[in-house]
Amino acid sequence: DAGVTQSPTHLIKTRGQHVTLRCSPISGHKSVSWYQQVLGQGPQFIFQYYEKEERGRGNFPDRFSARQFPNYSSELNVNALLLGDSALYLCASSSEGGTEAFFGQGTRLTVV
Amino acid sequence: SQELEQSPQSLIVQEGKNLTINCTSSKTLYGLYWYKQKYGEGLIFLMMLQKGGEEKSHEKITAKLDEKKQQSSLHITASQPSHAGIYLCGADRGGSNYKLTFGKGTLLTVNP
């Protein structure tokens, strides 16, 4: 079975632009969470979606938004990019009642 | 201060040596997750501990949870170069694996 897949793997954007990152969870997993990992830090929680509904939001500005589709895949959108948004963006999927959270390989976003 | 403190921040060992990484929480733990990360890549799930006193092993890696101290330790026996990477502990604060709080990580280098 395929694990959590994220696309693209790398991305370079200019300040002020918009970016969309994509995540496909493990088959059967209905929950998707997004994390931001800045160099030298642990991942920070951004959003969690379950059954297409937002269930949790971390301490991130409104420039960050996300959605989940009927097939449980998810998109993370970031508007008006800042240099400080440069980071590895990680997606994790979990099964209902499961105790494990599995992560994808991440999308490396560089804002110049 | 960090909710999850990992120590040491970095560790260099000779191949074959044993080592221990600690993770201490300033808040109540419902579950404690250990992940391994290669630089710039996704997180690989190692183990999840839920109950005080619980101990789990996978190959040469053992993790324990001390609920009273709100602390977990990860022990690697007879380290190998393949063990090198960043070890991250993540805490489940609310009985859900959807939103994890992570420490900054411990960078492990294993010299052949």
Instruction: Express each pLDDT in A14-66 by its tens digit.
Output: 999 999 999 999 998 999 999 999 999 999 999 999 888 998 899 999 999 99
Q: Which residues of chain B does A104 touch, with a Cβ-Cβ cutoff of 8 Å?
A: 42
CA distance A41 to A33: 18
pLDDT computed for residue B40 by the predictor: 80
Whether the bond into A8 is cis, omega within 30 of 0: yes
Q: Rounded to whole angstroms, how far apart are CA atoms B81 and B14? A: 9
Q: Which residues 34-93 of chain B have a CB within 8 Å of chain A?
A: 35, 40-45, 48, 50, 88, 90
| % of chain A residues with pLDDT over 70 | 97
Residue A9 DSSP one-character state? S
Query: Which of B33, B98, B35 shows the shortest CA–CA distance to A98?
Result: B98
Query: For residue B9, what is the nearest residue in chain A, using CA coordinates?
Result: A40
Contacts of A97 (CB under 8 A, 6+ apart): none
What is the distance between the alpha carbons of residues B106 and B86, in angstroms, rounded to a whole number? 5
Best A6, A34, A35, A110 member to test B by mutation, with max B CBs in 10 Å, is A35
Residue A1 pLDDT exceeds 70: no
CB atoms inside a 10 Å sphere around CB B112: 7
Min Cα distance A39 → chain B (Å) is: 9
The DSSP bridge pattern shows strands B55-58 and B61-66 to be: antiparallel
With an 8 Å Cβ cutoff, are A90 and B88 in contact?
A: no
Measured between CA atoms, the residue of chain A closest to residue B94 is: A56
Backbone phi and psi for residue B103, each to the nearest 5 degrees, phi listed first: -80, 180
Number of A:B CB contacts under 8 A? 66
> To which H or E segment does residue B79 belong?
none
**Tens digits of residue pLDDT in B8-20:** 999 999 999 999 9
A contacts of B36 (beta carbons < 8 Å):
none
The string of pLDDT tens digits covering residues B37-50 is: 998 889 999 999 98
Is the CA virtual torsion B39, B97, B101, A76 positive or negative?
Answer: positive
